[in-house]
Amino acid sequence: MENNSIKKFPIGGTHLPEEKELTTHTPIVEMPPPVEVTIPLKQHLGVPVEPAVKVGDRVRKGQVLGHRAQGLRAIVHSSVSGEVVGFTDAILPDDTTVPSVRIRTDAAGGDEVLLDPIDLESLSPEDFRAAVIKRTEEAGIVGLGGATFPTHIKLGTQDPIDTVIVNGAECEPYITVDDRLMQERADDVFRGLDIVRRAVGAKQGFIACEVNKPDALKRLREVARNYPCIAAQALDTRYPHGAEKHLIKAVLNREVPLRSLPGSVGVLVNNVQTVCAIADAVDRGRVLSARVVTVSGYGVTAPKNLMIPLGASIGDAIEFCGGETVPDPAVVVGGPMTGTRIINRSIPVTKATSGIILLTEEEYAGSAYMACIRCGKCVEVCPMYLPPNRMTAYVNNDMIEEAVGAGLEACILCGACQFVCPSKRPLLEWIKHGKAVAAARKKR
Amino acid sequence: MSTNIRRSGPHIESRDSVRRNMWEVSAALLPATLAAGIFFGPWALYLIFASAFGAAILERPFSPGGFSLKSPLGDGSAFLAGLLYGLTLAPGSPWWIPFFGAVIIVFVAKQAFGGIGHNVFNPALVARGILLLAYPALVTEWRVPLDYDVVTTATPLAGGSASYLELFLGTVPGSIGEVSALALLIGAAYLFYRGFVGWRISVGYLGASMVTALAFGLDPLHTVLAGSIMFAALFMATDMVTSPVGRSARLLYGVGCGVLTVVIRELTQYPEGTTFAVLIMNGATPLIDVTVVDTFFGEVTRRGKRVAAIVAVAAVVVLAVAIGFGEDALRSVTESSVADGATRRDLALFFPDADGARPEESERPGVQAHQVYRGEEPLGYLLYSSQYGYKSRIHVVTALDTNERVVGLRIGDHNESATLGALVRRPSFLNQFLRRSTRNPDAVVDSLEAISGATVSSRAVAVALQEALSFRVAPAPPPGQLNLGTDGVFEGSATGYNGAITVEVTVQGGEIESITVVSHNETPGIGEPALARIADAVRESKTLDVDIVSGATATSRGMIGAISDALGE
């Protein structure tokens, strides 16, 4: 479907330094498995799965490591062929620990376990949906934009869905994962979206992409000619276009009510890499055991887009990119806006890891903060129309109830307010603290 | 690396900073500063920069790190406040006024509240407010832009106030930085383009002052161009620290400033309302911030209700204004019928027994006379006259008995402020004119007891009455009537402010057809308008006895001299 319009959400948001040039023309390369991987048994929103292997077992790439759990979960597969050498508690970027399987990689490599490809065209609509949901569950697919919500649950929604949007906004600076995937695997992106669209019975689909990725957009528009119900939708470059509700507002001008899911306005949103993984799982029987990660920033010698086996450490990826350019750069896992700075480089790459950004001192936000001069820029950019200055003033005075009244719980933690603050106040940190206190008091 | 590092994002930051905000706003005031230098000369620049640097240096010891040569002016916030204060000063202020302001800005308005970001009231306006209250003598000078005609001379000027273009460019007397709307708009446009200020406060302010002006029956465009509304709306009310932060809150705050400014102008003794209007709204800012809250993204139903509520309130306000304004318009319609004949109302008021009135010949232009009858018996006269007052024409209705003595007086239509209007309507004022007679009209003005605080309006009433009482006497020909007996084109020249002024006067059939300035070297923006003004005045009055344009005395005299030379006077 042809579509040359450029859209954006109406109020708030800001323009960030993009820094995508570092890696936008760098093809995705496969990182060879390191000597040992530590695969967390929880790489999804929910609870850890129970291990289905024991120490000394030989496992193949793609083999299930764990699938049972009491609650929301996604299946975890091995990303390498090798021997289970132990169990450990891996530390994640947010300082939580999670039970993990340590696997020593076979030097010889080894073959991959594949599922049987599905011939979707032979199925009735009901069977089609059931088959797709079953396959995404078997393949351990979760939302790869960072939220890691299990996709098979998302596809099982009871809400009537009329539109499926693929989120290729990728509004975080530096990161070019979706950018490269849209350039290199546009056919798979459309194929994956079409599978999801038909599975949930939606009549139309969009692939939304910011205009700061012209190559990807051009490629999407070419492929869109082959799909009558799917259009490429260009978006203005504005942070946070990748936030689900704002993406929907921009593309369809529908506003998802507070505390509701996109299903309530008939929309399902998936990440670019997620639909690629769905296409892989359905057509080629491949499970999700590796993901594309952008290793970038001026602190890394050779910025790259890497296909990294899950469980390889952050340090492995940095080493593969030639190490750092300056002593002790700030290592950020995720994007520079919402990501977390880490010290311990043994943290494993998981399904949630979209970027590893090494920031030099000049790039890093290190200014000391000053008094608020009430310039109102935080309010201006807040995509949720909240007053971050007032919320944080309440939080800092332990007036949590008032902070909640001012919109604390509606905050999506995009960090735009803190980015623009001329007084360099750590607003997001204070908001996160306030949210934590509010949640704790609610429990009590 | 420090062990206490920040873990959560954002890990990048914008290049924006407090310092940058302050200096960008200061830079945006550059056009206004330049205009001040051009219009008012080096003393104005001294006033501006002494205020700005004075405040910046005074505040330096309070900034973190104390005084340092590396950044001698600190974060720029005191500099900006001083700059704003300096621009509001009258061009003839004494040398110490900038330092008076700097001390107030730094010690009273800023540091007493806890320094940058903590002050409740706009520091520049606190200083200006204290100056207004402490040295009211300077206030009269600030009246100049509003009351151009009054200050130059008490004669009724055709189009008594400056033209829109003059106000827009700033070629009128006034506070040094406030006169040129153009220069202010250039600066504000720059700030808006660079994203340092939003539009809501300024648009709310200007819009609300225009609407309020309409409700008071004033010219909305003149209201916002004259005086300091433009400056206040673009630079004073938008001060970040002392204005609200939310979108609706900012709009409401701007509207509050606009309404209050015009209300203070019209209903109080202060001719200029911006200072106190903005200070009052500064005080209301914390309340506005917490009560006028925008709906969140996704609060679809609440937003609908809110829109409905706002529409309802707006409808009520519009209705109220329409009713108020409509009544006003209605009243001016009845009053304007005065020109055609004595109104029933005046007959009923002064001559309850009368059957009717007939127009009577009047020797005075601008005075209408009517003889009042019952049957064939004359009862007296009704006279209608008017005179230019404080800022509008005041209409006076006079009733005479058969002895041609004043038996009644009524103040009709006027656009003076409500206070002034009420003052000249007081019986205690009007009673002094009773028994005045047509035999000695000049006594009215000679023995006038003017109301203090409303001298100009009082005098206007007296002059109007004097004119009315002189309705039988043709006005004496003004002195200096030009001899226009010979048709032709005459050239003449005389020395102006800056060299010779040469004019060409065309006389045709006893009228001056045109006065063309052939060459001159006067100051653009000051001298040039004066040339045109003098030419118009001479052409219309056919005399050389015309008012000198204030601020361009030498130019005016030169122009009159040149015309005189041409006509061989």
Tokens representing residue B252 in the block: 């409401």
Flag the least confident range among A77-81, A134-138, B286-290, B551-555: B551-555
Interface of A with B in 201-240 (CB under 8 A): none
Position B143 scores a pLDDT of 35
At a CB cut-off of 8 Å and minimum separation 6, what does A436 contact? none
List of chain B residues whose C-beta atoms are within 8 Å of the C-beta of residue A95:
7
List of chain A residues whose C-beta atoms are within 8 Å of the C-beta of residue B245:
374, 376, 379, 387, 389-390
* Cα–Cα distance measured from residue A69 to residue A52, given in angstroms and rounded to the nearest whole number: 11
At a CB cut-off of 8 Å and minimum separation 6, what does B323 contact? none
List of chain B residues whose C-beta atoms are within 8 Å of the C-beta of residue A375:
21, 196, 240
Position B333 scores a pLDDT of 43
Give A313 or B410, the one with higher predicted confidence: A313
Tokens representing residue A126 in the block: 């009901």
Quick one: which H or E segment has residue B516?
Answer: strand B511-519
Interface of A with B in 89-108 (CB under 8 A): 95
Position B44 scores a pLDDT of 87
List of chain B residues whose C-beta atoms are within 8 Å of the C-beta of residue A372:
117
- Cβ–Cβ of B300/A389 closer than 8 Å? no
CA nearest to B297 within chain A: A384
Output phi, psi for B516, to 5 deg.
Answer: -110, 130
Query: Do residues B284 and B253 touch, judged by C-beta distance below 8 A?
Result: yes
Nearest to A173 among B12, B243, B244 (CB): B12
- Cβ–Cβ of B295/A385 closer than 8 Å? yes
For residue A329, say if its preceding peptide bond is cis, omega within 30 degrees of 0: no
Nearest to B116 among A95, A258, A373 (CB): A373
Given CA atoms B221, B225, B229, B232 in this order, what sign does their dihedral have? positive
Whether the predicted pLDDT of A260 surpasses 70: yes
Tens digit of pLDDT for each residue in B347-388?
A: 877 888 887 788 888 888 888 888 888 878 888 888 888 888
Q: E strands of B113-170, at which residues? A: none
Position A179 scores a pLDDT of 96
SS3 of residue A27 by DSSP: coil
Query: Do residues B396 and B464 touch, judged by C-beta distance below 8 A?
Result: yes
Position B161 scores a pLDDT of 47
Looking at CA atoms only, how far is residue A45 from chain B in angstroms? 19
SS3 of residue A165 by DSSP: strand
Give B439 or A444, the one with higher predicted confidence: B439
Q: Which of B561, B566, B564, B569 is nearest to B497 (CA)?
A: B561
For residue A160, say if its preceding peptide bond is cis, omega within 30 degrees of 0: no
Position B66 scores a pLDDT of 57
Query: Do residues B110 and B78 touch, judged by C-beta distance below 8 A?
Result: yes
Given CA atoms A314, A316, A318, A320 in this order, what sign does their dihedral have? negative
Tens digit of pLDDT for each residue in A415-433?
A: 999 999 999 999 999 999 9
List of chain A residues whose C-beta atoms are within 8 Å of the C-beta of residue B9:
332, 334-341, 415, 418, 428
Nearest to A338 among B9, B20, B301 (CB): B9
Is A336 part of the contact surface with chain B (CB cutoff 8 Å)?
A: yes
Looking at CA atoms only, how far is residue A432 from chain B in angstroms? 9
Nearest to A420 among B16, B293, B299 (CB): B16
Looking at CA atoms only, how far is residue B307 from chain A in angstroms? 16
Looking at CA atoms only, how far is residue A406 from chain B in angstroms? 8
A230-235/A204-210 β-pairing: parallel
Sites in chain B below the pLDDT cut of 70: 1-4, 64-72, 136-163, 170-174, 269, 271, 324-343, 415, 417-419, 421-422, 476-483, 569
Angle between helices A186-200 and A214-224 (to 10 degrees): 60
Given CA atoms B114, B115, B121, B124 in this order, what sign does their dihedral have? positive
* Cα–Cα distance measured from residue A429 to residue A425, given in angstroms and rounded to the nearest whole number: 9
Give B317 or A315, the one with higher predicted confidence: A315
Position B70 scores a pLDDT of 62
Mean pLDDT of chain A: 93
CA B84 to chain centre: 19
* Cα–Cα distance measured from residue B73 to residue B55, given in angstroms and rounded to the nearest whole number: 9
Is B15 part of the contact surface with chain A (CB cutoff 8 Å)?
A: no
- Cβ–Cβ of B10/A419 closer than 8 Å? yes
Whether the predicted pLDDT of A127 surpasses 80: yes
* Cα–Cα distance measured from residue A377 to residue B250, given in angstroms and rounded to the nearest whole number: 13
SS3 of residue B387 by DSSP: strand
* Cα–Cα distance measured from residue B504 to residue B507, given in angstroms and rounded to the nearest whole number: 10
- Cβ–Cβ of B297/A336 closer than 8 Å? no
- Cβ–Cβ of B17/A384 closer than 8 Å? no
Tokens representing residue B231 in the block: 């400056």
Is B117 part of the contact surface with chain A (CB cutoff 8 Å)?
A: yes
- Cβ–Cβ of B297/A373 closer than 8 Å? no
Residue written as token pair 């505040």? B59
User: Where on the phi/psi map is residue A222: left (φ > 0), alpha (ψ -120 to 50), or beta?
Assistant: alpha
Position B330 scores a pLDDT of 53
Give B74 or A90, the one with higher predicted confidence: A90
Flag the least confident range among A139-153, A315-329, B120-134, B427-441: B427-441
The conformation of residue B113, written as its DSSP 8-state character, comes to G
Prediction ipTM score: 0.88
B368-374/B377-388 β-pairing: antiparallel
* Cα–Cα distance measured from residue B277 to residue B272, given in angstroms and rounded to the nearest whole number: 10
List of chain B residues whose C-beta atoms are within 8 Å of the C-beta of residue A384:
296-298
Going from the C-alpha of B359 to that of each of B336, B380, B386, the distances in angstroms are: 16, 12, 17
Whether the predicted pLDDT of A73 surpasses 50: yes
**How many residues does the structure list for chain B?**
569
Quick one: which H or E segment has residue B185?
Answer: helix B181-193
Give B410 or A22, the one with higher predicted confidence: A22
SS3 of residue A26 by DSSP: coil
Is B250 part of the contact surface with chain A (CB cutoff 8 Å)?
A: yes
B68, burial (CB in 10 Å: exposed 0-12, middle 13-18, buried 19+)? exposed
* Cα–Cα distance measured from residue B83 to residue B103, given in angstroms and rounded to the nearest whole number: 13
Looking at CA atoms only, how far is residue A271 from chain B in angstroms? 22
* Cα–Cα distance measured from residue B147 to residue A276, given in angstroms and rounded to the nearest whole number: 74
Give the whole-number percent of chain A exceeding pLDDT 90.
85
Is B307 part of the contact surface with chain A (CB cutoff 8 Å)?
A: no
Flag the least confident range among A25-29, A178-182, B87-91, B135-139: B135-139
Flag the least confident range among A93-107, A292-306, B219-233: B219-233
Looking at CA atoms only, how far is residue A363 from chain B in angstroms? 6
Is A341 part of the contact surface with chain B (CB cutoff 8 Å)?
A: yes
Is B293 part of the contact surface with chain A (CB cutoff 8 Å)?
A: yes
Given CA atoms A335, A336, A337, A338 in this order, what sign does their dihedral have? positive
At a CB cut-off of 8 Å and minimum separation 6, what does B163 contact? none
Is A328 part of the contact surface with chain B (CB cutoff 8 Å)?
A: yes
Give A122 or A303, the one with higher predicted confidence: A303
- Cβ–Cβ of A373/B18 closer than 8 Å? yes
Mutate to test the interface with B, among A249, A258, A267 (most CBs of B within 10 A): A258
Looking at CA atoms only, how far is residue B119 from chain A in angstroms? 10
The conformation of residue A410, written as its DSSP 8-state character, comes to G
Nearest to A257 among B17, B290, B300 (CB): B300
SS3 of residue B245 by DSSP: coil
Whether the predicted pLDDT of A98 surpasses 80: yes
SS3 of residue B331 by DSSP: helix
- Cβ–Cβ of A258/B296 closer than 8 Å? yes
The size of the A-B interface in CB pairs under 8 A is 157
